[in-house]
Amino acid sequence: MYTGNIGVDKVNRQYYSYYYIEGTTDYIFGNSTVIFDNCVIHSKMNKSFITAASTTQEQQYGLVFRRCRLTAEANVTSVGNMGIL
């Protein structure tokens, strides 16, 4: 279990399974290829972005969310998006 920012700032591959990740803005970020499998992604602030990926065009994949659940604090009424435009 992990609570805090997932900084994936080195170009590599990472795998997170059954993690709990929470934060406010851009709390999952970086340029690695990452698979989040069966994770809980918990937002703590309104209208915040969850991700800030910075993968290059040469990379086939960036941040992959598989069977993850998005949750939020009780007072959060709107989460921006996953950082995808």
* Active site positions, annotated: 26
Question: Could you tell me the sign of the dihedral formed by the alpha carbons of 47, 8, 13, 55, in that order?
Answer: positive
> CA neighbours within 13 Å on the CB side: how many for 46?
5
Distance CA 18, CA 27 (A): 17
